[in-house]
Amino acid sequence: MKTLPLSSAPTAILSFDFDGTLHHPGTSPPVPTEFFEVISLLRQERNIVWGINTGRSMPQLIEGFVESRFPFLPDWVVAREHEIFLPNPFGRWLPYTTWNNRCEKEIHRLFKKLQKAP
């Protein structure tokens, strides 16, 4: 599975929460096929990019993609509310390491600071 082709610079960015917004496990299919039709049309006509922001981990989100039968991948994912992943040309998710490492350090620094607070 791959992303949709991008012909030029994006004109808009669409970002979606996953659970309870885009993905509803009690329905069939969990993500309506019309969603993918609209995203595909917007990509063709307006050259939009789209992504998913979620509290899920990346492995959990990939399970959701499979369960929902995604016909194509989003252009990016923000997993666990702060980890950025981008798909490579083969559809494999790669971490945006510079950002992810910096966030991890800042989160640990914040927790240490809060533990020392009265």
For residue 14, the model assigns a pLDDT of 97
Greatest alpha-carbon pair distance for the chain in Å reads 56
Domain span at residue 75 reads 13-116
Kindly report the CATH number assigned to the domain that includes residue 85.
3.40.50.1000
Instruction: Check if the beta carbon of residue 50 is closer than 8 Å to that of residue 39.
Output: yes
Q: Count how many domains the chain has.
A: 1
Instruction: Check if the beta carbon of residue 18 is closer than 8 Å to that of residue 25.
Output: no
Question: Is residue 74 in a domain?
Answer: yes
Q: Is the dihedral of CA 40, 59, 107, 114 positive or negative?
A: positive
The pLDDT of 41-65, averaged and rounded, is 96
Question: Is residue 66 in a domain?
Answer: yes
Question: Is residue 6 in a domain?
Answer: no
How far is the C-alpha of 117 from the C-alpha of 81, rounded, in Å? 25
pTM, entire model: 0.88
Question: Is residue 72 in a domain?
Answer: yes
Amino acid at residue number 85: F
Span 2-34, pLDDT tens digits = 999 988 899 999 999 999 999 998 999 999 999
Is a pLDDT exceeding 90 seen at residue 118?
no
φ, ψ at 55 (rounded to 5°) = -85, -10
Is a pLDDT exceeding 90 seen at residue 59?
yes
